[in-house]
Amino acid sequence: MKSITPDWIDKPLGELTQTHWELLCDGCGKCCMTKLQDEETDKIHYTNVACELFDSDSCRCTDYANRTSKIPDCISLSIKRPHEFAWLPTTCAYRLRFESKSLPNWHPLLTGDLHSTHEAGCSVKNRTISVEDAVPLEHHLVEWG
Ligand code: SF4
Ligand code: SF4
């Protein structure tokens, strides 16, 4: 039987094509949530407060092509800026590959199912609130599994 796992899946991030780089994203949406940084420890804490361009129903950015011009804080991940990987959630495919770890078994590249991240309960789909409803932000800290 033919494997559905792409042969490039274990390549170092720096060797991925742009297409493969985009396919590596598991679509969890966690990185689109507001984050707070502890001033004493520098630790990053996630909230369930979504970026204004994030659509919770589809768990996607509503204007991915123009995201960085519309939302200055939105980061385009790059292997050229390795320090950015540290604030990503521990389940993030880019962080895992950056740390030379395997992808979880629910990753769409392993299941062949684009919805498998949501079905595994590993995305923020339908679990977010808007910034207008999140006052104060400190009351909306979340440990995304
Ligand atoms: S946290 Fe990582 S895997 Fe999840 S949506 Fe963001 S970039 Fe993609
Ligand atoms: S602009 Fe889009 S990709 Fe960037 S954080 Fe907001 S929802 Fe996510």
Taking only the tens place, the pLDDT of each residue in 54-108 is 999 999 999 999 999 999 999 899 999 988 998 999 999 999 999 999 999 999 9
Cα separation, 125 vs 60, whole angstroms: 9
Residue nearest to atom 4 of ligand 1 (CA): 28
**Residue 4 domain flag:** no
Give 36 Cα–ligand 2 centroid separation in angstroms.
16
Q: Which of 34, 79, 88, 99 to mutate to test the pocket of ligand 1 (most atoms within 8 A of CB)?
A: 88
**Residue 87 domain flag:** yes
Amino acid at 72: P
**Residue 145 domain flag:** no
Provide the whole-model pTM.
0.93
Q: In this predicted model, what pLDDT tens digit does every residue of 37-58 receive, in sequence order?
A: 999 998 899 999 999 999 999 9
Average pLDDT over all residues of the chain: 93
Give 75 Cα–ligand 2 centroid separation in angstroms.
8
Q: How far is CA 9 from CA 1, 6, 14, 51, 100, in A?
A: 19, 6, 12, 29, 11
The count of C-alpha atoms lying within 13 angstroms of the C-alpha of 26, restricted to the half-sphere facing its C-beta, is: 32
Residue matched to tokens 């390549």: 11
pLDDT at residue 145, as a whole number: 61
pLDDT of residue 3 exceeding 70: no
**Residue 56 domain flag:** yes
**Residue 8 domain flag:** no
Q: Per the structure, how many domains does the chain have? A: 1
